[in-house]
Amino acid sequence: MTDANNGSTASSTGYKSYLIVNNVQKNKNIKNMLISASSFGISEVFVVGQKKFDLDEHRVFLDKLRCPITRIASLKECRAYCQERQIRIIGVEIMEGAQNILDAPFQGDTAFIMGNEGSGMNAAQVAICDGFVYIPQYGGGTASLNVTVAASIIMQSFALWAGIPANPPVSQSTEAAS
């Protein structure tokens, strides 16, 4: 396992959220999920497998994030890592038994794992999960959301539930001046 250490945000409940990145096809989606993870107070991101996403190659980008990135070789190792730290793994998937995120079905420290852009969660991903949530959709739409959009909605929902304090707004002109 390798680490990129940056700061993370404490919640008022003390609960932390994590993101597991596995079986994501596009590096652009991985990078966008990492930006969202940094924005929504994720305590740590576990990059599982994803050999094509080279952490060293993306070091400049990763160093700007507010959450550490840990490389883990396999889903089995990720499961053990989370169990040792009493982190529940929740899959984000439209499936039988999944709970609606509007019902705030969160409990304690939680790691979220997203499905693949095209095929959803595979059997190995489902096997490591302690439970599942889904994002309700309204109107016609599609069977699923873009993985980055779905991850952002889930992370924001957990942040609200856990009482993670929002950062004060920073305008583009203020940020550019610093």
The pLDDT confidence band at residue 105, using thresholds 50, 70 and 90, is very high
> What is the DSSP code (8-state) at residue 139?
S
The predicted-structure confidence for 122-142, as pLDDT tens digits, reads as follows 999 999 999 999 999 888 777
47-to-28, 52, 73, 138 alpha-carbon distances in Å: 14, 11, 8, 31
Q: Which sequence spans correspond to the domains of the chain?
A: 2-177
pTM: 0.86
Query: How confident is the model at residue 10, as a pLDDT?
Result: 59
Mean pLDDT of all residues in the chain? 87
* CATH of the structural domain 2-177, one choice from 3.40.1280.10, 3.40.50.10470, 3.30.300.30, 1.20.1440.230: 3.40.1280.10
The predicted-structure confidence for 44-95, as pLDDT tens digits, reads as follows 999 999 888 777 777 777 778 888 999 999 999 999 999 999 999 999 999 9
